Amino acid sequence: MTQVKKSFLKLGFISSLVFTSIISNAQNSNSFSVKQAVEYGLKNAVQVKNALLDIQIQQQVNKQITAVAMPQVNASAGLTRYFDIPVQSLPNFISPATYKVLVDEGVKNGNGSPITFPNGGNFGNIAAQFGVPWIANAGIDVSQLLFDGQVFVGLQARDAVLKFAKKNVEVTQEQIKTNIHKIYYQLVVGKKQLGAVDANIIRFEKLLYDVKEIYKNGFAERLDIDKVQVQLNNLTTEKQKIENLLAIGNAGLKFLINMPQKETLALSDTLSETFIKDNILDESYDYKNRKEFQLLSIAQQLGEYNIKRYKLSKLPTVAAFASFSKNAQRSSFNFFNKGDWFSTSLAGLKISVPIFEGNKKNALIQQSKYELQKTKNNIAQLQQAIDYDVNTARVNVKSAILTIDVQNQNMLLAEKVYNTTKKKFEQGLGSNQEIYTAQAELKVAQTNYYSALYDAINAKIDYLKATGKL
């Protein structure tokens, strides 16, 4: 073989390895450990996304609260066109003066008689027009809140409210994390159970072959073949059911972590008894490790702020204000040429003193106290619930571990019995019925073992969540 040919072959081999590696990586791109599934879920789950949005919403609310305590500046401008200038009716003050001059001078009327005041001296009213067609104004107003008890308490509570929103995210994440662990390991146990069913199918396929051979030699009945075939069919049906449940569980896990259903999801983690048995004898736990307890503690703090807020609402509010404006009046739209603009400016202090509001504030204070007491009651109840959850989970884990050990021993014994029974049958020393019985007992032992395994991992997850260590 020439050197060039060797080089091409070497290059082709390397290219093949690279291509195979690329394909392999592409196929394993959605192969998740339980840790990776949790990370994906916490990043993409809708519940978590919405909880994170609540933080951003609260940040904007805090900005609104801060804005109330800052100076408020407003500018305004206006232009008014009067198509009909306002008219006001006024007492006729011109006619009396004219009549007085005439009377004093002795002027006579057309009849030659002296002019006199009308009877009763009532000269009526005259209509007077006030204003001009065009009016323009512009100004700026400034106000500053100096004291408002409710606003100041709101400023103090901003950090606590934001902390509440952030802690709610952690509570949501913990619940998502718990559910992911349970579904993930349910699928892992289901895969192990499927493997056991496949092994049973292989056993019965071998048994069916052996029985058929014995039947050919005249040492078995057709009924024996049918019995084995029935058992094999039942195992095939059981396998289909498990596969369907695994497919549904896989879809449920993708839904939980918000992965598109069209994408593939493979599980890379396995489940060992060591994982279940580790760190279950730790008797210590702290209420403060539970996210729910932390959340209620913040809620208690907010309740105290609420009482303070309503108490301070009884105090006067103080605000300073100032204003400056200019206005002009024109007979025509001619504000840009030379003309008078009249200025107005003022400054002041406004004090608002609550005197009587129908006992509304006292009712709000009392209501807030009741709400705070409810929160304290919930904290006390949560402590009892945590104690119950921890003790129950610890008992369940210990019981499940004992059950696993027993069922694992039973499963090994059932396998041993089946293998011995099968050898006796192959040697002509046993019956088909003994094999069927041994296989049925093996199947029950396997089912019990995997059921105990799943119960144990669920109890372990519940224990870790109860102690705040998940």
Map out the domains of the chain with their CATH numbers: 31-70+148-315+359-466 (1.20.1600.10)
Percent share of the chain, pLDDT over 90: 54
Task: Return the structure tokens found at 161.
Answer: 């409210």
Is the pLDDT at 465 greater than 70, yes or no? Answer: yes
Q: List CB contacts of 179: < 8 A, sequence separation 6 or more.
A: 256
pLDDT at 336: 77
Q: What is the pLDDT of residues 62-89, one digit of tens each?
A: 999 999 999 999 999 999 998 888 888 7
pLDDT at 23: 38
Task: Return the structure tokens found at 59.
Answer: 């940040």
- In whole angstroms, how far apart are CA 170 and each of 26, 58, 90, 261? 33, 16, 76, 26
pLDDT at 13: 37
φ/ψ of residue 469, rounded to 5 = -120, 10
Is the pLDDT at 434 greater than 90, yes or no? Answer: no
User: 330 - beta bridge partners?
Assistant: 134
130 pLDDT tier (thresholds 50, 70, 90) = confident
DSSP SS3 for 29 = coil
What distance in Å separates the CA atoms of residue 210 and residue 128, rounded to the nearest whole number? 126
29 pLDDT tier (thresholds 50, 70, 90) = low
pLDDT at 102: 73
Q: What is the mean pLDDT of residues 274-291?
A: 80
Angle between helices 291-312 and 149-216 (to 10 degrees): 160
Q: List CB contacts of 4: < 8 A, sequence separation 6 or more.
A: none
pLDDT at 353: 93
When mean pLDDT is compared across 110-119, 363-372, 430-439, the lowest value belongs to: 110-119
Q: Indicate the pairing of strand 317-330 with strand 134-147.
A: antiparallel
Is the pLDDT at 280 greater than 80, yes or no? Answer: no
Q: What is the pLDDT of residues 223-240, one digit of tens each?
A: 888 888 988 999 999 999
pLDDT at 27: 43
pLDDT at 55: 95
pLDDT at 341: 87
Q: List CB contacts of 99: < 8 A, sequence separation 6 or more.
A: 115, 117, 118, 123
* Identity of residue 297: S
Distance from first CA to last CA of the chain, Å, rounded? 62
Is the pLDDT at 101 greater than 80, yes or no? Answer: no
CA nearest 436: which of 199, 222, 203?
Answer: 203
Q: List CB contacts of 374: < 8 A, sequence separation 6 or more.
A: none
Is the pLDDT at 6 greater than 50, yes or no? Answer: no
φ/ψ of residue 288, rounded to 5 = -65, -15
Q: What is the mean pLDDT of residues 203-216?
A: 86
pLDDT at 379: 96
Q: Do you know the residue count of the chain?
A: 470
Please state whether 74 falls in left (phi above 0), alpha (psi between -120 and 50) or beta.
beta
Q: What is the mean pLDDT of residues 91-102?
A: 74
What distance in Å separates the CA atoms of residue 228 and residue 272, rounded to the nearest whole number? 33
User: 345 - beta bridge partners?
Assistant: 324
2 pLDDT tier (thresholds 50, 70, 90) = very low
Is the pLDDT at 470 greater than 90, yes or no? Answer: no
φ/ψ of residue 350, rounded to 5 = -115, 125
Percent share of the chain, pLDDT over 70: 91
CA nearest 196: which of 28, 407, 55, 46?
Answer: 407
Mean residue pLDDT of the chain comes to 86
Q: Indicate the pairing of strand 342-352 with strand 134-147.
A: unpaired
Q: What is the pLDDT of residues 318-327, one digit of tens each?
A: 999 999 999 9
Is the pLDDT at 332 greater than 50, yes or no? Answer: yes
120 pLDDT tier (thresholds 50, 70, 90) = low
pLDDT at 49: 94
Within 10 A of 51 (CB to CB), how many other CB atoms are there? 20
User: What DSSP letter does each residue of 30-43 carry, written as one string?
Assistant: TEE-HHHHHHHHHH
34 pLDDT tier (thresholds 50, 70, 90) = very high
What distance in Å separates the CA atoms of residue 316 and residue 355, rounded to the nearest whole number? 9
Q: List CB contacts of 43: < 8 A, sequence separation 6 or more.
A: none
Is the pLDDT at 306 greater than 90, yes or no? Answer: yes
* Residues 452, 386 contacting (CB under 8 angstroms): no
Q: What is the pLDDT of residues 233-268, one digit of tens each?
A: 999 999 999 999 999 999 999 999 999 999 999 999
Is the pLDDT at 194 greater than 60, yes or no? Answer: yes
pLDDT at 357: 85
Q: What is the mean pLDDT of residues 330-350?
A: 86
pLDDT at 177: 94
229-256 core/surface letters (b: 16 or more CB in 10 A; e: else) = eebbeebeebbeebeeebeeebeebbeb
Specify the higher pLDDT residue, 219 or 184: 184
CA nearest 132: which of 342, 339, 344, 332?
Answer: 332
